[in-house]
Chains A and B, each alone.
Chain A
Amino acid sequence: MSVAVADRTAPGDVDVSALPGEDGMVEGPRSRWLPFSPWHLLLMPMAIVMLIPLAWMIATSLETLAQTRHFPPILWPGQLQWRNYPDTLGAAPFSRWFVNTTVVTVTVVLSNLLLCSLAAYGFARIRFWGRQAMYFLLLATLMVPLQVVLIPTFLIVKQLGLIDHLGALIVPNLANVFGIFMLTQFFRTLPIELEEAARIDGASRLKILFTIVLPLSAPALATLAVIQFLWTWNDFLWPLVTIINNTDAFTLQLGLQNFQGAHATDWNLLMAGNVMATLPMLLLFLLAQRWFVRGIATQGLKG
């Protein structure tokens, strides 16, 4: 997982939530020769090229084994082999891996929303001793990628007795600096007057955070949630080193890898497994595209 922080260098003060909409888009000139914009001649092939891997994955997942071993490749199976899906579920504990991945991802996302909100409120609104230094120290850890600290992090998690346990995937990720940074920046943009008024009325800081600040921060929280979901769901390296001998604690990514090792040439089953492991994330992306785009455009994140 690589994280980069784009604060001042981010692409300007753009209202990126308008990205999937119409803001700032160029209206192309109408062509005299074509009944449609000439840009379609470029855009359509481009979209098809990007979608080919996904489309062929789905097509292959519905073929018979014999059809997958045919050249030239069969682009669409006549008779759809839906039974590949139950067959795949029978050949490997995908449902177990799905549950594991869901448990890990949901826990990590919820915990990050809570802990990062608390910390961000502290950093954004409370003047306490050591605040600047601590904030800077946390940000400094963002520069060091997991790949570099893989071994010591593994040793710490091993000391805690979490190896081969779902806890190894959850505990180290309960809070992350990126979320704190993003929410701190966001909280600082909120008008402080409401909070001051509530404070004069005797509301506690915790109450102010939950009743005033967080409801105003829904866009930032949604962005953090979907990006964290994406990272955790698709993470591979960390599960690979911490879940070694226990297939019962595999995530979908580990399971897919394992399944590919065992069925390297059963492309129809492999693709059925691939579709099942990828579909939840694709659906979330379709539903929450706006927040993904916003997260990437403003913060520059990539799992």
Chain B
Amino acid sequence: MATTPASVAVRPPGPLRRAVASDHVAGWMFVLPSVLLIVLFGLLPIIWGFVLSFQKAGLISPNRPFTGLANYERIASDPLARTAAVNAAYYSFLFVPTSIVLALFLAIALNRKVRLIRFYRLAVFIPVAVSTIATGIMFLWLFDKEFGLANYLLGKVGLGPFGYFDSPQGAMPALVVMTVWGWLGFDTIVYLAALQGVPRELIEAAAVDGAGRWSQFQHVVLPLLGPATLLLAVWSTISALQLFDEVYFVTHGGPLNRTFVPVFYIYRLAFTSSYGFAKAGYAAALAYVLFMVILVLTLIQFWLGSRVVHYSS
């Protein structure tokens, strides 16, 4: 576009300049780097995973023929998928209530002014910083059949010896103890925050009305912990159903498949040749079913929660 110098002086900014200065372009410039990354590594996999679940696919061969619903139909008759589902349910059933009840108990104990409180809190919080693998090594040692501290200490009170990760009955409970240790700090922090949000006036008002300590707790504090409990129940269930690191590293799904859980199965199908090749499509279908189960359970929990939990604000 040719313009005379005179017209430049009076001309308003060109369309390009205006566009750059406009909110539309500026906004996209700010979000674009993140959006591109998340589309590529977050959104695309969700779509691709869904497509894969209808294919016979491996990780190496680019040849991925569509097989319709075959992968999903196979899940229904796959005894290993069934074992994984049963174990995931069993683990969640033990892990979720145990971790939540213990955390509530710890948070109440830790919510007071006593000497050494910082030390006590640190002791409960610190496993949050320890990785699943490091935790696994510690508990393999603690729960060692021959030389472990656990059998020694339990022996002193007349219990055991137990086989822990080596015993078909004991492996899952041992896994629960180990993962609860790792999670407790997290849950306790959430409960502590909720406890500190309980208005002092409410408790004092209840005390003035003659409520005893237990009654104060039961009728004033506990209802106010509803939202935190709901949240922890949802998170713990989600993470329980996705258990992997500890199983992969500590129990390898055994003994006798007693700790064989869904993500471990998905991993082995897709990334190892344990069950033959070209199983990535089937693994993707399993992953999607797991996702749907998690989604439905989460919705149910929130729905149940909305009927029970009381939100103060």
Considering the complex, give the chain B residue whose CB is closest to the CB of A236.
Answer: B245
Which of B112, B135, B193 has its CB near the most chain A CB atoms (within 10 A)? B193
Cβ of A103 under 8 Å from chain B: no
Question: Could you say which residues of chain B place their CB within 8 Å of the CB of A128?
Answer: 23-28
| Residues of B contacting A172 in the complex (Cβ-Cβ under 8 angstroms) | 37, 41
Is the Cβ of A175 less than 8 Å from the Cβ of B34? yes
Asked if A9 and B231 sit within 8 Å, CB to CB, the answer is yes
Interface string of A215-253 (1 = CB under 8 A from B): 000000000000000100110110011000000000001
Q: Are A253 and B131 in contact (CB under 8 A)?
A: yes
**A50 close to chain B: CB less than 8 A:** yes
B35 A138 Cβ-Cβ under 8 A? yes
A297 touches B189 (CB 8 A): yes
**B205-238 interface with A by 8 A CB criterion:** 227-228, 230-231, 234-235, 238
Residues of A contacting B192 in the complex (Cβ-Cβ under 8 angstroms): 19, 297
Do B37 and A292 touch across chains, with their CB atoms under 8 A apart? Answer: no
Contact across chains for A12 and B227 when beta carbons are under 8 A apart: yes
B8–chain A nearest beta-carbon distance, Å: 21
Among A25, A46, A116, A126, which residue has its beta carbon within 8 angstroms of that of B27?
Answer: A126
In angstroms, Cα B245 to Cα A241, docked, is 12
- Considering only residues 107-121 of chain B, those with a C-beta below 8 Å from chain A are 109-121
The reply on A174 being an interface residue by CB < 8 A is yes
A52: which B residues are within 8 A, CB to CB? 142, 149
| A residues near B42, Cβ cutoff 8 Å | 138, 141, 144, 149, 177
Complex contacts, A240 vs chain B, CB 8 Å: 248
Q: Which of B48, B141, B238 contacts A271 (CB 8 A)?
A: B141
Most B CB contacts (10 A, CB to CB) among A4, A6, A47, A148 go to A148
Tell me if A158 counts as interface (CB < 8 A to partner B). yes
**Count: A-B pairs, CB below 8 Å:** 335
Contact partner of B126 (CB less than 8 A), chosen from A28, A50, A173, A237, is: A50
* Alpha-carbon distance between A292 and B124 when the two chains are bound, in angstroms: 13
Chain A hits for B23, CB < 8 A: 126-128
By a CB distance below 8 angstroms, the chain A residues around B84 are none
Please pick, from A44, A158, A257, the residue contacting B133 in the complex, using a CB distance under 8 A.
A257
Q: Are A36 and B115 in contact (CB under 8 A)?
A: yes
A122 and B125 form a contact (CB under 8 A): no
Q: How far is the CB of B47 from chain A (nearest CB, A)?
A: 8
Partner of A155, one of B59, B124, B142: B59
Tell me which of A4, A12, A20, A180 has the highest count of chain B C-beta atoms within 10 A of its own C-beta: A12
B184 touches A50 (CB 8 A): yes
Contact A126:B26 (CB < 8 A) given known A13-B197, A47-B120, A144-B291? yes
Residue A190 is within 8 A (CB to CB) of chain B in the complex: no
Overall SS of chain B's interface: helix
- Find chain A residues with CB under 8 A from B304 CB: none
Using CB atoms, name the residue of chain A closest to B36. Answer: A175
Interface residue? A33 (CB, 8 A): no
Partner among A19, A141, A302 whose Cβ is within 8 Å of the Cβ of B193: A19
Query: Contacts A205-B26, A292-B128 given: A53-B138 contact, CB under 8 Å?
Result: yes
Q: How far is the CA of A57 from the CA of B137 in the complex (A)?
A: 9
* A contacts with B: majority SS: helix
Choose among A43, A44, A236, A237 the residue with the greatest number of B CB atoms under 10 Å from its CB: A43
By the criterion CB–CB under 8 Å, are A57 and B27 in contact?
A: no
CB of B86 within 8 Å of the partner chain: no
**Is A260 engaged at the interface, CB distance under 8 Å to the other chain?**
yes
Stretch at the interface among B69-77, B89-97, B166-174, B281-289: B281-289
Interface stretch (choices A78-86, A87-95, A279-287): A279-287
Report the minimum CB–CB distance from B293 to chain A (whole Å).
Answer: 11
Contact B38 A175 (CB under 8 A): yes
Given A26-B111, A43-B109, A150-B287, decide whether A300 and B231 contact each other with a Cβ distance below 8 A.
yes
Contact A28:B113 (CB < 8 A) given known A50-B181, A122-B31: yes
Any chain A CB within 8 A of the CB of B244? Answer: yes
The contact string, 1 if C-beta is below 8 Å from chain B, for chain A 262-280, is 0000010011001001100
Contact of A278 with B131 in the complex, beta carbons under 8 Å: yes
A56–B141 CB distance below 8 A: yes
Complex contacts, B186 vs chain A, CB 8 Å:
296, 302
Whether B194 contacts A158 by the Cβ 8 Å rule is no
Closest 8 CB pairs of A and B: A128-B27, A122-B30, A24-B196, A47-B123, A234-B131, A152-B48, A297-B193, A285-B129
Q: CB within 8 Å of A: which residues of B?
A: 23-31, 33-35, 37-38, 40-46, 48-49, 52, 59, 106, 109-135, 137-142, 144, 146-149, 152, 181, 183-184, 186, 189-190, 192-198, 200, 227-228, 230-231, 234-235, 238-239, 242, 244-245, 248-249, 263, 266-267, 270-271, 280, 283-284, 287-288, 290-291, 294-295, 312-313
Contacts beyond the supplied A53-B127, A115-B37: 10 A-B pairs with Cβ under 8 Å: A11-B197, A37-B115, A43-B110, A50-B127, A50-B184, A144-B42, A145-B238, A147-B263, A177-B42, A241-B267
